[in-house]
Amino acid sequence: MGVSSSPIYLTVYKKDIQEDLTLIDLPGITRNAVGDQPENIYENIVDLITNYIKKPTAIVLHVIPASEDFTNSESMKISKNYDPNGDRQLIVVSKIDKYDKGIGDKLQGIGPGSMALKLGCVAVLNRTPEQIEDDVPFYKMRQLEQQFFQLNKAFQLIPVEYLGCEQLIKRLVSIQQARIRSTLPGILDELKNQIKQKKSELKNMPPAVTSEMECWTLYSNLIKKYRDLIYARVHGV
């Protein structure tokens, strides 16, 4: 089975969350077809991802495990084609409990395997398979996440804005608000131009016909124009 470009819309409401975010969850990149997947599954997925990230108004949110080299990420390589300076990319560092030495510098865009992105990185603690099986609620995971960062020496000197889901939410909301403020004037100008163009097209359309008499009048005029055209062609007028 292949991938489809038709989106599935999912709206999630929670009464104690004031932030409003719009996210697009794109499929993970796979190079080898499995089962009944088409042989060109890699190209299909890359085309789908590219269709979204190439837009200059889009923010690209990479999810990369802590133990991996950020520079080797497939999504990072694709995004570089459309955002070479890393102005609109953000890394969510998952599986932070599997971190390697130097994770503090890595989160701050310093040292081997890091990426100095303008929007930075945020580390999050994922639920383990056992916690998923036990249906550990997310509010409990946030508490465990906070304890993990507080008690682990590797993270004690890292600024708080790099750590945890709460910081990730705050950063995403801030980024979205900033993008709206910066792009809204251009969007409004584009809408005004489109409205102006459509109004011009409407003026060039024939008048609306609302009665039988108007239909006959329009029909008679068309016949007359057609006869005049034939006469001109025949007589070389």
CA dist., res. 52 & res. 79, Å (int): 10
Whether 124 and 99 have beta carbons less than 8 Å apart is answered as no
Residues 29-34 have a mean pLDDT of 76
Q: Could you report the per-residue pLDDT of 141-193, keeping only the tens digit for each?
A: 889 989 988 888 888 888 889 899 889 988 888 888 888 888 888 888 999 99
Residues 213-217 have a mean pLDDT of 85
User: Could you give the angle at which helices 138-151 and 165-203 cross, rounded to 10 degrees?
Assistant: 120
Q: DSSP assignment of 108-160, as one string? A: TT-STT----TT-EEE-PPPPHHHHHTT--HHHHHHHHHHHHHH-GGGTTS-G
Backbone angles phi, psi at 46, to 5 degrees: -60, -40
Strand partners, 63: 92
Query: What separation, in Å, do the N-terminal and C-terminal C-alpha atoms of the chain show?
Result: 65
Q: Could you report the per-residue pLDDT of 45-78, keeping only the tens digit for each?
A: 888 888 888 888 888 899 988 888 888 888 888 8
CA atoms within a 13 Å half-sphere pointing along the CA-CB vector of 43: 3
Least confident range from 34-38, 46-50, 145-149, 213-217: namely 34-38
pLDDT of 192: 93
Percentage of residues in the chain having pLDDT higher than 90:
6
pLDDT of 17: 65
The conformation of residue 206, written as its DSSP 8-state character, comes to P
pTM score, whole prediction = 0.70
pLDDT of 227: 87
Reading the block at residue 94, the tokens are: 């998952």
Whether 21 and 172 have beta carbons less than 8 Å apart is answered as yes
The gap from C-alpha 208 to its chain's centroid, in whole angstroms, comes to 42
Domains and CATH numbers, the chain: 62-71+81-186 (3.40.50.300), 206-237 (no CATH)
pLDDT surpasses 80 at 38: no
Strand order in the sheet with 121-123: 60-65, 89-94, 121-123
Helix, strand, coil percent content, the chain, rounded in steps of 5: 50, 5, 45
E strand spans, the chain: 60-65, 89-94, 121-123
Q: Which of 57, 55, 129, 65 is nearest to 92 (CA)?
A: 65
